[in-house]
Amino acid sequence: SQQGEEDPQALSIQEGENATMNCSYKTSINNLQWYRQNSGRGLVHLILIRSNEREKHSGRLRVTLDTSKKSSSLLITASRAADTASYFCASSGSARQLTFGSGTQLTVLP
């Protein structure tokens, strides 16, 4: 079942600006992960945040998790043209699988 939903579906920003993407999910989770996909390629894992964490950083990435609202956000600071890609959240609950959202297409204009 499709549990995660990203918002917005598409985002276009100028190089140097920050990009924020949101994800909502429906059931309780063990963790939430964010992945990136360049056009026509496989997904690459970016960051994982556990259900007992509220915020996590990795380089220019900042992820927050609000379990009371069943939502997460991914912030990319000082974006670059190379950040242009689709970004997916994936939630992990009691089932032995990840449930992916439909993704946010980010375009960073030079």
Q: Which residues bind another protein (CB under 8 A)?
A: 1-2, 4, 30-31, 33, 35, 40-45, 48, 88, 90, 92, 95-98, 100-103
Minimum CB distance to another protein, residue 41 (Å): 6
Tell me the C-alpha distance between 20 and 78, whole Å. Answer: 11
Residue 72 or residue 92: which is nearer to another protein going by CB? 92
Residue 74 or residue 90: which is nearer to another protein going by CB? 90
Residue 81 main-chain phi, psi, to 5 deg: -55, -35
Residue 40 or residue 59: which is nearer to another protein going by CB? 40
Minimum CB distance to another protein, residue 110 (Å): 26
Tell me the C-alpha distance between 49 and 107, whole Å. Answer: 25
Q: Could you write out the DSSP letters of every residue in 87-103? A: EEEEEE-SSSSEEE---
Which residues are registered as beta bridge partners of 45? 35
Minimum CB distance to another protein, residue 10 (Å): 11
